[in-house]
Structure 1
Amino acid sequence: MKQKVALVLGSGGARGVAHIGVIEALEDNGFEISSISGSSMGAVIGGLYAAGKMQEYKEWVTHFDKIDVFKLLDFTLSLQGVVRGEKVFKEMRKLLGEFNIEDFSIPFTAVASNIRTQREVLFSEGNLMDALRASCAIPTVMTPVYHENEEIVDGGVLNPIPLNRVKRKEGDILIAVDVNAAIPFEKRVAVTAEEVQQDEKNKQFLDDFTNRIKKFFPSNSPKETNAIPKKLGYFDLMNRSIDLMQEKMTNLQMELIKPDMLVQISRNSCGTFEFYKSNELVELGKEAFEKSYNQYKNGLETTE
């Protein structure tokens, strides 16, 4: 009989694609997922797995280049976020279809945050895509979702790794995947001729794009910056602030509920919107699982 797993998938933007590799490696090693909870991209991958659509999503996202990613970002001048987030979910609905969470064969919970009441919002039933859109609404980046007359934002704001929201059954082992881990990351240096050519194409497109949006995000930095440290840009500052906040909250959650196995992905492995690195991230997830699983089999602590 296969060992059953209660799986918890953490938030982390594009790094969440590594959850796909973790799930594939987990199943390759004979485990059976019996329940899932997730925040933000953890909710996306977990929800699509529960719906039986993870492989279709993987096939789609692993073919992205930088241009594909930017074409899916529907920028807005809203004071609540710079991306509406509707375009990508419209494409996902078209590609993957519509599902109700209560129809899944395994329990699934997507976590979001009510910004006014400061309470978690749990989606264990209802339309899957609506739940995922709410769970991914990164504050100041993606505009909030209005649910039952309340403003709902990213699940990672209150519970970046929802260990307390997975419906674990007796005998299940608890596995958590943290894609915001403060651990070193060794960058891949080998590149192919095809990648170099694609990078040149991407650079030209992104330079044109940057020139078009500069008027919306003017810089107050002096042009000559050789004498002073480089200042963080808007997205870098926002990303680092959110990463730090989520790291502290994850550590607190781990003190309350200790998983049997913790799989860690470095927060330096990619940025929030770098979905064009999806192939690398899937492999990174597989490698991270194998490392944690070997430690688990050897009786080592992986949560310290």
Structure 2
Amino acid sequence: MNKNYKIGIALGGGAARGYAHIGVLKAIDELKIPIHFISGTSIGSFIGALYASGNLTQFEEEVRNKNSFIRDVLFKLDPIYPKLAAMNGNEVIKVFKRITNISTFEELDIPLTTVATDIIKNEKVECNSGDLINAIKASIAIPGILNPTYVDDILCVDGGLIDPVPLESAIKMGANRTIAVNLYGLESSEKTNEKYNIIDIIDRSAKIVLNNITHLSFKFNEPDLLIEPPIDQFKGWDFHRANELIDIGYEEGKKSLLENKLFI
């Protein structure tokens, strides 16, 4: 690859499916592909920050050894009155702080932009300097599940509402070769109508919306490489299936990268 190229990777949202990002990034490291910029939405911001801090391997070891621990901490209720959501995101942030002591964007080894949604003005909120912890908390604030977070007096929720795979953010940072990782890629369902329940309907409906938003955004900024791990069968709350998701992400990431000569 031309050394003048600056590679940016956009890591999309997907809750538990975000474990697949770990596998993709592992394949990138194995193939010695340099990443110069990272953008992340929701779980993509969390994983992206750990990768940019140099601590993603430690996180992988933890989830492989106790692959339900994110689910366990996520459902430790931390009530807030008046309640704006069922849970507070502080327990998830404690996981991040336990793995790394980095707390600002400026301390990261790789420049990172996190994406959240201004719930009042319906605008994208990009963070790339200052308080990293608060930016992650805002980016992962799933409406109704994790409490909204203020960023510079802006009330923010999950970035997936406005930019599920923030490719534009990576380009704005200076990337001229781009990789996008979309965790909402859809496969034909093998389920018959009779086997669907209300949870399946809600989960698949959300994936359809987010996948369509993502591909519409790619019409304006098309990635040089789109990686879509085949994880349609996984739910957003399948935190106990970390090993499978990481392995699928690794296999699909490596396969896609080897097929695309731009990055090798």
Q: TM-score of the superposition, structure 2-length normalised?
A: 0.85
In structure 2, the partner of 1:265 is 229
1:234-270 Cα shifts (integer Å, max 9, x gaps) = xx55533432221111011111111111110235242
> Partners in 2 of 1:178 and 1:57 — Cα distance?
21
Q: What secondary structure is seen at the aligned counterpart in 1 of 2:16?
A: helix
- Equivalent position of 2:8 in the other structure: 6
What is the distance in 1 between the residues matched to 2:52 and 2:158?
20
Q: CA deviation at 1:185?
A: 8.6
Which residue does the alignment assign to 1:143? 147
Q: Which moved more, 1:118-127 or 1:139-148?
A: 139-148
- Tell me how far apart the structure 2 counterparts of residues 68 and 248 of structure 1 sit (CA, whole Å): 28
Which residue, 92, 95, 117 being the options, matches 1:113? Answer: 117
The structure-2 alpha-carbon separation of the partners of 1:68 and 1:173, relative to structure 1 and needing over 3 Å to count, comes to: closer
The residue type paired with residue 148 of structure 2 is P
Does structure 1 retain, via aligned residues, the 8 Å contact 2:53–2:100?
no
Give a deviation string over 1:182-203, Cα, whole Å, max 9, x none: 13599xxxxxxxxxxxxxxxxx
The question of whether the paired residues in 2 share the 8 Å contact of 1:74 and 1:85 is answered with no
Distance (whole Å) between structure 2 residues aligned to residue 5 and residue 74 of structure 1 = 38
State the 1:88 CA deviation.
2.1
CA RMSD of aligned residues (A): 2.7
- CA distance 1:260–1:93, change in 2 (3 Å): same
The answer to whether the Cα contact below 8 Å between 2:230 and 2:248 also exists between their aligned partners in 1 is no
Q: Check whether the contact 1:134–1:154 (CA below 8 A) recurs between aligned residues.
A: yes
Distance (Å, rounded) in 1 between the aligned partners of 2:50 and 2:248: 20
Q: Secondary structure of 1:8's match?
A: strand
Partners of 1:19 and 1:262 in 2: CA distance: 13
Per the alignment, in what secondary structure is the counterpart of residue 50 of structure 1?
helix
The aligned residue for residue 255 of structure 1 is 219
Q: Which protein shows a greater Rg?
A: 1
Q: 1:283 to 1:99 in 2, by over 3 A?
A: same
- 1:161 maps to a residue whose letter is V
What displacement does 1:147 show? 2.6
Pair 1:87–1:71, CA change in 2 (3 A) = closer
1:282 pairs with 2:260: no
What is the Cα deviation at residue 231 of structure 1? Answer: 4.1
Secondary structure at the aligned position of 2:38 is classed as: strand
Match of 1:64 among 66, 69, 78: 66
State percent identity of aligned pairs.
31
Which position in structure 2 is the counterpart of 1:27?
29
Alignment partners' CA distance in 1, 2:145 and 2:14: 13
Equivalent residue in structure 2 for 1:37, among 21, 36, 39 = 39
Residues in 2 aligned to 1:241 and 1:184: alpha-carbon distance in whole angstroms: 14
2:103 aligned to which of 73, 92, 99: 99
Q: What's the secondary structure of 1:105's corresponding residue?
A: coil
User: Unaligned stretches of 5+ in structure 1?
Assistant: 187-227, 299-304
Residues 137 and 154, structure 1, Cα contact 8 Å, conserved in 2: yes
Are the structure 2 counterparts of residues 149 and 68 from structure 1 closer, same or farther at C-alpha, using a change threshold of 3 Å?
Answer: closer
More strand by share: 1
Which stretches in structure 2 are left out of the alignment for 5+ residues? none
Residue of structure 2 equivalent to 1:134: 138
User: How many pairs are equivalent?
Assistant: 255
Residue by residue over 1:88-113, the C-alpha shift from the partner in whole angstroms, topping out at 9 and shown as x without a partner, is 21232133223210232322100000
Aligned to 2:17: 15
Question: Given the superposition, is the C-alpha separation of residues 35 and 50 from structure 1 closer, same or farther in structure 2, using an over 3 Å criterion?
Answer: same
- Distance in 2 between residues matched to 1:106 and 1:45, nearest whole Å: 13
Q: Is the 8 A contact 1:9 1:39 kept in 2?
A: yes
Q: CA deviation at 1:229?
A: 7.1
8 Å CA contact 2:70–2:239 kept in 1: the answer is no
